[in-house]
A and B are shown apart, each in its own frame.
Chain A
Amino acid sequence: MHVLRQGVHRASILSLVLYALALGAGIGLVTADYATRGGYPFGGVRVGAWTAWPKVGSVGADPYSRAVNARRGEIPLAVGEGMLLTAEQDESGRGLDATCTYRVAGVTPPARAWTVTVAGRGPRDSEAAPMREGFTATEILRETDGQFVITLSPEVQAGNWLPMPRAKGAVRLALRLYDTPVAASAGNLDRTSVPAITRTGCTP
């Protein structure tokens, strides 16, 4: 009887150790995968609807950014080269949706060149290259005061029309500033120095 009880005791200790190991490995690996999948988990600076990523390409990047870059095969912009800003929401905090029309208007921070591009998550819908994925600072049409308005819409628009890259789902905008002095001081940017993203309507 005593031997049997000792055996049960030993088996339960062993199963508890196995349980602890499985719990540790499982939760640890799953959370590490989750944190390094997709976008950068932290290191961003919120500027209006945009998030600036000044440090993701530098030697001072946090381990999560480095892991994300390595998993995606990304070649991030270095500090002296430029800066990436991304937007997944409009000014009022609603996610950018492919069925809606957005007005991206205003000015950009000082830079020698910049580009605004739109992309959906995941692989493309079709194999053919899209008609237009973005605008550069040179090719955009401006108002007389130097400001610009980009209309991001699934429908054809007058002016700077940026077509939606897919029929439905979430999309995101990327603003890349090249050769810009703001990369070293992204914390000083305010929301008037980046384009405002406002939703003007949605097709049901």
Chain B
Amino acid sequence: MTPRGRFLVATLSGLVLAGLVHVATVLLIPGLAQSDALSRARSGESLDHPLAVNTVATGDTAPPIEAWLPIPDPAVAVGLCAYNLGEGPMRVSARTGTLMLSLAVHGPRGAFYAVTDQAAVRGALDLVVLTRAQYDEALANADEDEVSHDVRIVAGEVRGFVVVRVIAALPSQRAAADAAVQAVSCTVDSPSDDRTGG
């Protein structure tokens, strides 16, 4: 093979390699990222209320540094509850008010469920995120006489987060929107609570 032929082969294999590196890098970024929402959410895993991601009632000051969203909607308060289903099912309870509220369940691969306050039953929205095994267990233990208003969502992965968004349609509602996000409770549902409650 001539030197030029060898150089051509090397260039071509370099380009093929570039394609492989490109695809592999793009696929690896979500898993390796350290500043993505899933990684940042973990700092709020022990909280029983949402971690404030974007507060809208900031007055004349610029948004705080910990608000990491790149271009947040200035009229929407965002909170985030991280879950780790290894500790038990996650229960998200919201009381609906006059402000529009939505809950979205995100896994490592993206959002797989979303519900707004229009699905609330008597002003309460109860979302339980569980694994397939926990779901089967909950079904087996369910009391047939008792009507449950829980919305049960089976998550494919153990870790993820629930995003709470409350929209302040008017600037005067911004403080209420921040408060509405903080009023949502995110707790680990333990089976013993169910028995005493029922």
Contacts and interface: CB of A to CB of B under 8 A. Distances in A.
Q: Say whether A and B bind each other.
A: yes
A80 B169 contact: no
A20 to B, nearest CB: 4
Contact of B71 (A26, A36, A117): A117
B19 interface: yes
A114 B27 CA distance: 33
B18 A24 contact: yes
Contacts of A136: 75, 167-170
Interface stretch (A62-70, A95-103, A149-157, A192-200): A62-70
A115 B75 contact: yes
B136 interface: no
Q: Interface size bucket, B side?
A: 35 or more
Given A12-B6, A124-B62, A139-B171, A78 B14 contact: no
Nearest to A126: B62
Contacts of A26: 18
Interface in B9-26: 9-11, 13-22, 24-26
A36 B25 CA distance: 10
B114 A25 contact: no
Contacts of A202: none
B114 A80 contact: yes
B63 interface: yes
Contacts of A129: 58-63
A25 B110 contact: no
Interface of A is mostly: mixed
B36 A36 contact: no
Interface string B153-191: 000000000010101111100000000000000000000
Interface stretch (B87-95, B101-109, B121-129, B137-145): B101-109
B100 A113 contact: yes
Contact of A58 (B21, B70, B111): B111
Contacts of B71: 117, 119, 174
Contacts of B10: 16-17, 19-20, 23
B167 A75 contact: no
Contacts of B9: 16
A70 B170 contact: no
A61 B14 CA distance: 29
Given A117-B71, A129-B62, A78 B36 contact: no
B73 A134 contact: yes
B191 to A, nearest CB: 29
Nearest to A119: B71
B20 to A, nearest CB: 7
B62 A81 contact: no
A76 B21 contact: no
Interface in B31-76: 33, 35-37, 40, 53, 58-63, 68-71, 73-76
Interface of B: 3, 6-7, 9-11, 13-22, 24-27, 29-30, 33, 35-37, 40, 53, 58-63, 68-71, 73-76, 78, 80, 100, 102, 104-107, 109-116, 118, 163, 165, 167-171
Interface of A: 12-13, 16-17, 19-29, 31-33, 35-36, 57-61, 63-64, 66-67, 69-82, 112-113, 115, 117, 119, 124, 127-129, 133-134, 136-139, 174, 176, 178-179
